[in-house]
Amino acid sequence: MLVLKWCDGTYLEDQDKFRMSGIFRDVYLLKRPESVVFDYFTTTELRGGHATVRVRANYLGAPVATRITISDAAGTEVAFAQLEPAEDDADYPYRAELSIGDPHLWTAEDPYLYTMRLETEREVITDRVGLREIRADGVVVKVNEQPIKLRGINRHDSDPVTGPVIGLEQLLTDLRMMKQHNFNAIRSSHYPNSPYFYQLCDELGFYVMAEADNESHGTQSQYLADSTFENQVRHWNEPIADNPDFLPATLDRTQACVQVQKNRPSVVFWSPGNECSYGITFEDSLRWMKEFDPGRLTVYESSFYDDGKRDYDYTHIDIYSRMYPALTEVWEYLGKNPDKPFMLLEYCHAMGNGPGDFEDYLEVIDAEPAMCGGFVWEWCDHGIYKGDAEEVDRSTTTAAITARTCMMATSASMASCTRTGARTRASSSSRTCTVLCA
């Protein structure tokens, strides 16, 4: 295995975080039979008190007889079918449809999951299925035909000792804290997370924005005779975002994000990247996203930055989103009879400091149907323990580390919290709380 510290892809990974080298995720070898189900794509449709689960699949090697069963949370089988040839689908030439009567639907508040098994003679694949639909009904975002409001948080993989290496228990601690403090949505800023992150979001109940590993932020800061921000915007997309040479790389990162997370019911939004400006590479990637998976909504905030050189295609972006807009800008958008919901993709910057203006923003979010909510920046401060490479005994980590700042919420408002472990001390007057190691 070859691990590169710097490569041409580095220009597409300019996220605002500490840059570290190494292998941060699990690497494993999987031995499978010669002929197996190679890939499958599960979608759901809700109509007339029934749910239809469609499973499209392809094989590696020769096709093998495949029986699909779906069981409820009590283990009772509620539907079954066989994969059959589907001649009209080049990507997934085999298909099955399973009908579930009186379905128990999935939402962030009630994350009910069914168990799906794909059984062949020599292998069984087990997955979980959540029955839900999401769509934009004009300017209103609806899940299962009910309007939703996103009480969201941006989240990086970050720990003061392990850096970007986040284990299962660390992740569970974060997600449980988010749930306890009334967050219902997470943006995977700004790259795909470990597979078990999305599986836990399915189980615990979060609406997830899955974002591709693509941020060419640095191309904004070019050496220009006119260094004003307005002129930087006019040239931001030239090196990468509107450069045809980067079409394959941009699409590859978009497809990698979508293909891996496409079967997770918690994933309801796709984002092809962050802070890259806009151009042909994102027009192409967003078009592919909507063609491949029309059942989810797309978001891309950097489409806001228009260089004025031509008319760009925004038709494959479902949500209008902004970062840190003044309330005057929000009201201006709402006053123009918009045709897309408004999302605060990042707002109330809270890394290291207590944020302000939550009440003002939440009043608008709750009052205006076109406001689908937002994602606070962000869950934790990116500080590194002592700033050196000192050996740390992991057995004492939970008691000895932390200095980690996170964001939490109460049902009526949100509060800035500094996390250092497990005992909670709260101040009702300041609405802040400190979690101490135990």
Domains of the chain, residue spans: 9-21+136-388+395-436, 36-132
Answer yes or no: CATH 2.40.50.100 is held by domain 36-132.
no
What's the number of CA atoms in the CB half-sphere (13 Å) around residue 250? 29
Question: At a CB cut-off of 8 Å and minimum separation 6, what does 187 contact?
Answer: 152, 153, 154, 155, 208, 209, 211, 271, 345, 375
Contact, 171 vs 196, CB < 8 A?
A: yes
The whole-number pLDDT of residue 401 equals 42
The whole-number pLDDT of residue 222 equals 81
Q: Which segments in the chain show pLDDT lower than 70?
A: 354, 387-438
The whole-number pLDDT of residue 413 equals 37
Catalytic residue among 211, 215, 275, 301: 275
- For the domain made up of 9-21+136-388+395-436, give the CATH fold: TIM Barrel (3.20.20)
φ and ψ at 75, to 5 degrees?
A: 90, 5
The whole-number pLDDT of residue 390 equals 55
The whole-number pLDDT of residue 389 equals 57
Token pair in block for residue 139: 């300017």
CA 334 to each of CA 316, 337, 386, 427: distance values in angstroms, whole numbers, following the listed order: 21, 6, 46, 36
Examine the residue annotation and report whether 275 is marked as an active-site residue of this protein. yes
The whole-number pLDDT of residue 345 equals 98
Mark out the alpha helices in 225-323 (DSSP H runs): 229-236, 247-261, 280-292
Catalytic residue among 133, 215, 346, 378: 346
